[in-house]
Structure 1
């Protein structure tokens, strides 16, 4: 036991592991509080309102993430070396993400009748304006965590989301009687808006000034043209990945009833939280790779070992215990969601390989290859899901994700092995990475 504790303490002195563990802890906290939130929602709201709330929140996150998710890679890549331009990079990211999400949400609201009965709750000026506000808020909220991570302050992320989750659960119960038909969405958005104030005060009032003071004065901050070239390659790929995370559930919501979507969404949400664990260490890897490219290969090997060490037991529990986990929400959830949860949990294992590879590409600015891998994965998931949906229904999402991630992991495995061996052969990762840069 003492050896394990000593190993953990040694890991925490390494920024790669400290950041990665903080983000993993955040995922666990978010997952536990998320389950509690949806358990309360299932108790206080009807199955139809439960499904409608899930659908509207998914749509909000889709539009808010249109540009926000593409800035996740860019901010993780360039904030560590941002120097005096750090505040400008953050504000530009916030502004572009909010503006793009707002325009997309406005287009959605103007074409609302085309999106099915589930989204009719957003009809009218008041509900539409509130939805538009929620998209702007969530766009900034999405980038807060990666800003903290890019500035090596990821330890604040779980604390922020712990408080946010508890406030969100309290508001869910508080408004259940007054807003039986919209309480879920309101209880999600208001705490999100309130959370922006203290966290951005911390970022711009404390962390950014300290980061700028500690920056290497001899290092030239990244130019906007350089960041633009990176985004031109990363954005199409990230947009494709966005289709997997948010567009697939929105499409499912247009094809099934509200109650069925609620049960699908619960299994999908739980599986997505497990997948986030695979992505957490990868985000930390991008940050540390930006600080020190020569250590990238060694950090890739470390990230893979730690990620599999943590993810494999969780995936095993999810596969074996899927019916019991989902039965907490009700028998219907277990009957309709067990297969989906098992398939998507199993798909996390190849996703670990993919995410580590993508982070290595980001750290070495190989934007074109980065886009190619992400677009290929998204096309495979969407094509296989749409092909299998008439046969397997909502479980087609699980089969599509598993097949696609296994296929892409096999295709990138050779290149990943080369990256992992660079440090062992003494070759410079910078040279290896720059040769394919956009």
Structure 2
């Protein structure tokens, strides 16, 4: 026990692990509080409202993430070295994410009759305006965590989401009697809007000035907007592909099944995505540290891969073995209809770890074209396999598609990942043999 404690303390002195562990802790906190939130929602609201709330929240997150998710890689890549341009970069990101998400939401609301009965709750000026505001709020809220991570202050992220989760649960119970229709969505958004004020005060009043001071002595040219734009041009199409996997798939499922069935599907899907987020968390920290110090990219990749597997593999085992018990908490129907999906999605996280470490290595090196190729290829495989399997496997096609596609892509990039992991060894060998540079 003492050796594990010493190892943890040593890891926490390393920014790569400190930020990675903070993001993983945040995912754990979000998963526990999220499960508690939806457990309360299943208890206090009808099956139809439960499924409707899941569907509207997923749709809101889809629109809010259209650009916000694309900026995750850019913020992780450029904020560590942005210097005095850090506030400008953050504010531009906020504006772009809010404007893009808002425009998409308006387009959806104007064509609302085309999207099925589940989303008819958004009809009317008042509900539509509230939904539009929610998209803008969530776009900024999403980027706050990425900003703190990019500025190497991810330890604030779990605290932020802990408070947010508790307030959200309290408001959910309060609204159960007063707002039986729409209370889930309202309880999700109001705490989000309130959280924007203190977190952005922390970012712009404390974290950004300190980051600028600490990096003032580092002689490194701040990224120009053109450089950031080129990175986004290559990374953004791939990021949209990831967005399609995470958010578009459940939105499409919501248009194909009833509200109650979607609620049970969404619970298993949400838990599976939480496990997948663990793989992405360490990868985001890896991008930040790789951008900050490229000379240690290979070592950081190896360390991130080892730590990620050490933490995630036991969680996958637990999820596969205990899936029926986990879902039984929400009700027998959740366990009957969601167990296989949760197991498949948990198993799909294992190859995802390899893919995320590889993608982070590419981001740290600004290999935008390769990033786009891998992510678009992965999304294409996932979407095609889900569409092909849906008539035969129903909602479980989502799990089969993710497991099959991510395994195939992990096998395809494995050789290139090995080169990144051994880059420093290859470079040192080249220097020893008189080669002018690394391969």
Q: Say if 2:365 is the partner of 1:364.
A: yes
1:72 match: 72
Q: What is the aligned partner in structure 1 of residue 169 from structure 2? A: 169
Could you tell me how far 1:219 is from its partner in structure 2?
1.9
What is the deviation of 1:427? 4.8
State how far apart, in whole Å, the 2-side matches of 1:62 and 1:376 are: 20
Query: What's the secondary structure of 2:309's corresponding residue?
Result: helix
Whole-Å separation in 1 of the counterparts to 2:251 and 2:141 = 21
Q: Deviations over 1:232-267 (max 9, x none)?
A: 000000001100000000000000000000000000
Q: What is the distance in 2 between the residues matched to 1:196 and 1:425?
A: 46
Q: Which residue in the other structure is 1:305 paired with?
A: 306
Which residue pairs with 2:109 in the alignment? 109
Equivalent residues of 1:25, 1:158 under 8 A apart: yes
The residue aligned with 1:84 is 84
Alignment match, 1:289:
290
Question: TM-score, with normalisation over the residues of structure 1?
Answer: 0.97
Structure 2 counterpart SS, 1:365? coil
Q: Per-residue displacement from partner, 1:282-317 (whole Å, max 9, x unpaired)?
A: 000000001100100000000000000000000000
Gap change, CA 1:427 and 1:227, over 3 Å in 2: farther
In 2, distance between residues paired with 1:212 and 1:153?
A: 13
CA RMSD of the aligned region, Å?
Answer: 1.4
Conservation of the 8 A alpha-carbon contact between 1:94 and 1:139: yes
Q: Secondary structure at the match of 1:177?
A: helix
* Cα distance change of structure 1 residues 2 and 278 upon mapping to structure 2, 3 Å threshold: same
- Residue 161 (structure 1) shift: 0.1
1:428 shift after superposition: 10
| Corresponding residue of 1:317 | 318
Deviation (angstroms), 1:435 = 11
Query: Is residue 38 of structure 1 aligned with residue 38 of structure 2?
Result: yes
| Alpha carbons of structure 1 residues 177 and 356: separation in structure 2 relative to 1, 3 Å | same
Query: Is the partner of 1:135 in helix, strand or coil?
Result: helix
Determine helix, strand or coil for the equivalent of 1:240. Answer: helix
User: Cα distance, 1:100 vs. partner?
Assistant: 0.2
- Alpha-carbon distance in structure 2 between the residues aligned to 1:15 and 1:142: 22
Aligned pairs (5 A) from 1:219-238: 219-238=220-239
Give the aligned length: 432
State the distance in 1 between where 2:215 and 2:330 align. Answer: 49
Q: State the match for 1:48 in structure 2.
A: 48
Structure-1 separation of matches of 2:343 and 2:115: 29
Gaps of 5+ in 1: none
| 2:387 corresponds to 1:386 | yes
Task: Give the 3-state SS of the residue equivalent to 1:220 in structure 2.
Answer: coil
CA separation in 1, counterparts of 2:6 and 2:213? 33
Q: Which residue of 2 aligns with 1:61?
A: 61
* SS in structure 2 at match of 1:394: helix
TM-score, length-scaled by structure 2: 0.97
Cα drift, residue 220 of structure 1: 1.6
In structure 2, how many angstroms separate the alpha carbons of the residues matched to 1:428 and 1:224? 37
Give 1:424 deviation, angstroms: 2.0
